[in-house]
Amino acid sequence: MTIKYTLPARLLHWLVALGIIAAFALGLTTDSMEGFSMQKLKLINYHKWLGISVLALVAIRLLWRLSHRPPELPAQMQPWEKQVAHYTHMLLYVLMFAVPLGGWLYSSAKGFPVVWLGLVELPNLMDKNEELAGTIKFMHKIGAWTLVLLAVAHAAAALKHHFIQKDDVLKRML
Amino acid sequence: MRRTALFLSLLAAGTLGQAQAAPADPAKSSVKFVFTQMNVPVEGQFKKFSADIAFDTAKPDTGKVNIAVDLAATDAGSSDANQAVQMKEWFNTSSYPKATFSANQFKPLGGGKFSATGQFSVKGKTANLTVPFTVKPDAKGSWYEGSFPLSRLAWKIGEGEWSDVGAVADAVQVKFKLYVAK
């Protein structure tokens, strides 16, 4: 009998996963679009809305995680394997906060406030600053790529547990 | 003799009822605007303009204002937008490089507030426009400040797909601050 993560934890996990994939795909798309167009304007806004949604969900997730102990990892896992899993999860959490916050900061630096879903205007995190904006965008990009590559490793590890070790690591989250 | 000349010139100025037009100080003056893009307010600025102002708060009906904005020097919030705004759909600066406002009808609104009515011309279209403003004198001159919403569609600024007000709202808030030294 597999002891699973609680239902809210599972829902939040998969919602955040979908949000990150969609936001990353949109980010790559808009970043490769030249010039100024209606399409680009819309996609950039959708990207921002997704990013802020992910940030909010991750904040809820973290609070839930801190107040609910996750199910134990399989006893047959080596201590170092558990350590690697633990630090990967910590780094994923750090990036899930840092990447959307970086995007929000970049938007402020460019002089474009973030208006979530076109409804809620968020405060600017800094004054307009074109010089810093370039650096912030670069950091946002590096962070996003690191997050996505780490998430791919995370998913690969889960699949390895499921199909090779045949343990219940993946099932805990389904 | 000198005194007589001065007296005569003062008299002439008085009878003609025209105050001397003076240019606004470009270092202290600004013409900014806020447009709304998918509900996101974005601030821009007209970086090059000239403003000649003749205005006496005691005799508002003798006032005269001429403002010319060089639209090629528009900061629309980002480098992409700065290029886009030059295009045919927006200002079409190659055909219409300037926006102008010439006003000679002024009304006092009370409390240091006035309104200026005149011809506003942009992108080949000229129409009447009334602009509210306040006058605040300081030791060395006067500040003329105001803010008013301008309908971009009335002057065809943003045509084709850009006429969609869901993407860019029709009302653009124009904010000006002009300083004229004595």
Query: Is there a contact between B39 and A119 if contact means CB atoms under 8 Å apart?
Result: yes
A119 touches chain B (CB under 8 A): yes
Query: Is there a contact between A35 and B161 if contact means CB atoms under 8 Å apart?
Result: no
Query: Is there a contact between B39 and A111 if contact means CB atoms under 8 Å apart?
Result: no
Predicted confidence band of residue A34 (pLDDT cuts 50, 70, 90): confident
B160 touches chain A (CB under 8 A): no
Q: How many whole angstroms separate alpha carbon A108 and alpha carbon B43?
A: 12
Helices (H), chain A: 7-32, 38-67, 79-109, 130-160
Mean pLDDT on B66-71? 96
The per-residue pLDDT for B8 is 47
Q: How many whole angstroms separate alpha carbon B86 and alpha carbon B92?
A: 5
% of chain A with per-residue pLDDT over 90: 90
Domains of chain A: 7-173 (1.20.950.20)
Partners of A47 on chain B (C-beta within 8 Å) are none
The per-residue pLDDT for B21 is 82
Residue among A38, A110, A114 whose CB faces B161 most closely: A38
Partners of A121 on chain B (C-beta within 8 Å) are 39-41
Mean pLDDT on B157-168? 94
pLDDT surpassing 80 at residue B165: yes
Mean pLDDT on B6-16? 46
B72-126 tens-digit pLDDT: 999 998 888 999 999 999 999 999 999 999 999 999 999 889 999 999 999 999 9
**Count of alpha carbons within 13 angstroms of residue A150, beta-carbon side:** 20
The per-residue pLDDT for B15 is 42
The per-residue pLDDT for B16 is 47
Fold adopted by B19-181: Lipocalin (2.40.128)
Partners of B38 on chain A (C-beta within 8 Å) are 41-42, 45, 115, 118
Q: How many whole angstroms separate alpha carbon A117 and alpha carbon B176?
A: 31
Which of B33, B40, B74 to probe by mutation at the A interface, max A CB count within 10 Å? B40
Supply the angle between the helices A7-32 and A38-67 in degrees, to the nearest 10. 150
Contact A93, A58 (CB under 8 A): yes
Lowest mean pLDDT among A19-28, A69-78, A120-129, B14-23: B14-23
DSSP code per residue over A133-170: HHHHHHHHHHHHHHHHHHHHHHHHHHHHIIIII--STT
Give me the amino acid identity at B46: F
pLDDT surpassing 70 at residue B49: yes
Partners of B161 on chain A (C-beta within 8 Å) are 38
